[in-house]
A and B are shown apart, each in its own frame.
Chain A
Amino acid sequence: DTEVTQTPKHLVMGMTNKKSLKCEQHMGHRAMYWYKQKAKKPPELMFVYSYEKLSINESVPSRFSPECPNSSLLNLHLHALQPEDSALYLCASSQGFGRSTTGELFFGEGSRLTVL
């Protein structure tokens, strides 16, 4: 079983809705990530948080808003999404981000988002 828990597993939303995806890990990891994955494609990095601070934003549209309330939790707030934003959203964590880390990412099972 994965040690990165994502909720909800499935989400359907209209283009005017506001919703949030949640991610939780209890491995003591200090880096957390959001990835977007389209069908039959590799995961694409969206955001990286290191020690609860945003380290990387891969030029993601502002309709996606990440939040890291504490070292165990990561949220992705969604507003005014487009149908092309429909995808599997994966959360991941790692020991750290940067030097002296193992580099291993632990992924959750993802939240399947459908935008109507």
Chain B
Amino acid sequence: QQQVKQSPQSLIVQKGGISIINCAYENTAFDYFPWYQQFPGKGPALLIAIRPDVSEKKEGRFTISFNKSAKQFSLHIMDSQPGDSATYFCAASMMNGNKLVFGAGTILRVKS
């Protein structure tokens, strides 16, 4: 019940295309859903996060869509760029503890 399932494992997108990564969770007590971006040799960095009181959050080219009833959330990267090539992790946690549960990760490669 603590798992966050992430798909796909890897993704290749043409420059200018849309990258979509999906996550699903079981624990309805989760109320914070961040996405982290990790470049090779670096630590993960927070990209964007959402709470379950909204269905969508957009920051620049990055959008989180959240479906509370389906217990799913997804990351959309519009106009994908080669510089977006990285590993993306979805995660979930509860407000009464910052113990993040990470998804398995998606390796994104944007071809120029």
Chain B binding site: helix, strand, loop or mixed by DSSP?
Answer: strand
What total count of A-B pairs have CB within 8 Å?
63
Bound-complex Cα distance A90 to B102 (A): 14
Q: Does A97 contact B (CB under 8 A)?
A: yes
What chain A residues lie within 8 Å of B62 (beta carbons)? none
CB-based contact B104/A42 at 8 Å: yes
Partner of B42, one of A100, A103, A106, A109: A109
What chain B residues lie within 8 Å of A42 (beta carbons)? 89, 102-105
Bound-complex Cα distance A29 to B102 (A): 22
CB-based contact A99/B99 at 8 Å: no
Q: How many residues of A contact B (CB 8 A)?
A: 27
CB-based contact A105/B105 at 8 Å: no
Chain A 45-86 per-residue mask, 1 if CB under 8 angstroms from chain B, else 0: 100100000001000000000000000000000000000000
Interface residues in B8-57 by Cβ distance below 8 A to A read: 32, 34, 36, 41-46, 49
Bound-complex Cα distance A56 to B93 (A): 15
CB-based contact A108/B105 at 8 Å: no
Bound-complex Cα distance A40 to B98 (A): 23
CB-based contact A45/B99 at 8 Å: yes
Interface residues in A89-112 by Cβ distance below 8 A to B read: 90, 92, 94, 96-101, 103-110
Q: How many residues of B contact A (CB 8 A)?
A: 24
CB-based contact B44/A43 at 8 Å: yes
Chain A binding site: helix, strand, loop or mixed by DSSP?
Answer: loop
What chain A residues lie within 8 Å of B87 (beta carbons)? 40
CB-based contact A48/B41 at 8 Å: no
Bound-complex Cα distance A31 to B82 (A): 34
Bound-complex Cα distance A31 to B100 (A): 13
CB-based contact B93/A103 at 8 Å: yes
* A residues in contact (CB < 8 Å) with B: 2, 4, 31, 40-43, 45, 48, 56, 90, 92, 94, 96-101, 103-110
